Chains A and B, each alone.
Chain A
């Protein structure tokens, strides 16, 4: 009898369509007279509860795995700029002067540090040969990264003969234009302590630019 019932149960499962599945089996058993038994109902409920629990346990990890990784795109960026460079397009020249022998304190000449080449001088000196030997400020051309700022540092390296003093002047800083070019001028004040010796006074100077 037991074997027969078991066989019937298995046979029932085989004859059910896939759509019905296990639920069909359970429903069929519910309709059976045997399900009226409290013991059977209890067993069936426990079985159904166990199946639901295990079903959720099996399905849950599948969802977690589907969300277990993620990606993001990062960017990398860098800007290469050209080194800043300067070149002298015209050297500074204070021109030709006659020095007053009477008052060496007024023997000074100042050149403007702009494109005007404006000369001012003390009463102890007088400019000569303006047309043949005009005075010029130094003109420096700078190239580099467009729209960048730069600083200017001027230095007198040497004066020969070593008479008098030279103090350079220029803007302290500049800005390259959209094409990466700029021009600045170096002027200064030369004061002679000599009282009339005819000489060519030469100075070696440097003007250094740096990105600022």
Chain B
């Protein structure tokens, strides 16, 4: 009988060790996520999230004016000037550079929600002069053949069942009075995080 009690003690000890391990597990996750989901799905199943930039935002050719103004590129790639008197206008001639929003697609674990973080502004420069670009919120779109999941809301979205999601980012270019001519370029960083 005492031997069986010994077995009981052994099991109790094992259970205690296990309980201790589980009790300390949540701080290791450091995300406060759904513990049950993490345990049952596991790392070998969850796909890492990744974001791919396909095209940059392009305002096309803008004719500078004697007054400042803005040119906005929509999510559909339409450029519109602010129509300020004497301000910049959108070039619509035959030597056209098509305006376009920046486009991205995301790959990851189907069904997972994620956040999108974009800067509010970025700067473009021609080497001697600069302009400010105010970036718009992401808008769902098909990018590089990858359809949007249809779950984009503000800066939160969801990976579709095929493992993809896609969206675009438009923006507004602030053009100064008699802005110096030339090509202006700049970069901005986009981050995606599983929720």
Contacts and interface: CB of A to CB of B under 8 A. Distances in A.
Interface of A: 1-2, 5-6, 9, 22, 29, 34, 37, 39-40, 43-44, 46-47, 50-51, 54-65, 67-84, 145, 147-150, 210-212
30 contacts: A43-B7, A43-B10, A58-B25, A60-B39, A61-B25, A61-B29, A62-B43, A64-B43, A64-B194, A67-B46, A68-B31, A69-B191, A69-B193, A70-B51, A70-B106, A73-B188, A75-B188, A76-B56, A77-B57, A77-B185, A78-B60, A78-B124, A79-B182, A79-B184, A80-B175, A80-B179, A81-B91, A82-B64, A148-B95, A149-B93
A9 B9 contact: yes
Contact of A76 (B29, B61, B133): B133
A81 B181 contact: yes
Given A56-B42, A76-B133, A81-B91, 13 more contacts: A50-B15, A51-B18, A54-B18, A64-B38, A71-B51, A71-B192, A72-B189, A74-B104, A76-B188, A78-B183, A81-B63, A149-B93, A210-B93
Nearest to B13: A9
A82 B6 CA distance: 92
A119 B91 CA distance: 38
Q: Is the interface of B mostly helix, strand, loop or mixed?
A: mixed
B9 to A, nearest CB: 5
Interface in B55-99: 56-65, 71, 88, 91-95, 97
Nearest to A8: B6
A58 B93 CA distance: 62
B33 interface: yes
Contacts of B169: 74
Contacts, number: 219
Contacts of A46: 11
Interface of B: 2-7, 9-11, 13-15, 17-18, 21-22, 25, 28-31, 33, 35, 38-39, 41-44, 46, 48-53, 56-65, 71, 88, 91-95, 97, 102, 104, 106, 122, 124, 126, 131, 133, 169, 171, 173, 175, 179-194
A64 B30 CA distance: 12
B192 to A, nearest CB: 5
Contacts of A145: 61, 91, 95, 181
A81 to B, nearest CB: 5
B4 to A, nearest CB: 7
